[in-house]
Amino acid sequence: MANIFLLEDDKILSKGISIALKKDGHHVTTAYGYVEALQKYALKKYDLFLLDINLPDGNGMNFCQKIRQTSQLPVLFLTANDTEEDMLKGYDVGCDDYISKPFSIDILRRKVSAILKRTITENARVQYKDLEVDMEKCLVLLHGEEVHLSATEYKLLCYLIHHKGTVVTKVMLLENLWDKDGNFIDDNNTLRVNIKRLRQKLRDDNQEYIVTVFGIGYTFGE
């Protein structure tokens, strides 16, 4: 479950990629041009960038350079420019991998999964104050003692941790909380109940871990 930024000027291809990635449980933000991408990039944190190189108002390589000024998160280029020279330029500006057009959506999904798995493994253990989360083992510890969470509570906690430093809206949470059978949590009351239960298990009466941003949503930590 990742936050993916997709920059692709072909709207039909963009829609197809978005649908496939959302079925895999990811949240996808789309942009169709360089200027729009710059505007949306500043709004939230992302886990992976899928960038077309040739854009109507700019260049995906320039956008990659912009990302690299503040982040080392993975960048995958989607491009028809697959010559050795083009690929070397891409790696020089900081991309992690290429996929050449036309490509299979299933191949793209596998690449995305592999990149995210590698990235998550590198950042699998998170500690904040007295709370420790091992995402590789699905283990939550508070003051060194295991906390037993339901699947939904665990997903909630991981999603908030993964987006630490940003306010996660209620809509984002509702869109991303699916259980194994694909059942969608479709009302704010259910969300509030799960947040309340999670806080109780984390002994979070003072909102040290899960902070309510009134009228908007929640954030993790300070």
pLDDT tens sequence across 119-147? 765 566 788 999 999 877 788 999 999 99
Q: Could you name the CATH architecture of 3-121?
A: 3-Layer(aba) Sandwich (3.40)
Predicted pLDDT at 186? 55
Percent of the chain at pLDDT exceeding 70: 92
The answer to whether 3-121 and 125-220 have equal CATH topology is: no
pLDDT in tens, 177-196: 654 444 555 566 888 899 99
In the prediction, which pLDDT does 184 show? Answer: 52
**Dihedral through CA 166, CA 167, CA 168, CA 170, nearest 10?**
-170
pLDDT computed for residue 212 by the predictor: 94
Average confidence score pLDDT of the chain? 86
**Residue-level pLDDT at 152:** 84
Cα separation, 213 vs 222, whole angstroms = 11
Domain ranges of the chain: 3-121, 125-220
pLDDT in tens, 147-178: 999 988 988 998 888 788 788 888 888 877 65
Q: Which residues of 155-185 are buried (b: 16+ CB within 10 A; e: fewer)?
A: bbbbbbbbbeebebebebbbebbeeeeeeeb
CATH 3.40.50.720 given to domain 125-220: no
**Secondary structure, 3-state, 129-154:** CCEEEECCCCEEEECCEECCCCHHHH
User: pLDDT per residue over 9-57, tens digit each?
Assistant: 999 999 999 999 998 888 899 999 999 999 999 887 788 999 999 999 9
Tens-digit pLDDT profile for residues 77-116: 998 877 788 888 888 998 989 998 989 999 999 999 888 8
pTM strictly above 0.85 = no
Q: What is the pLDDT of residue 63?
A: 95
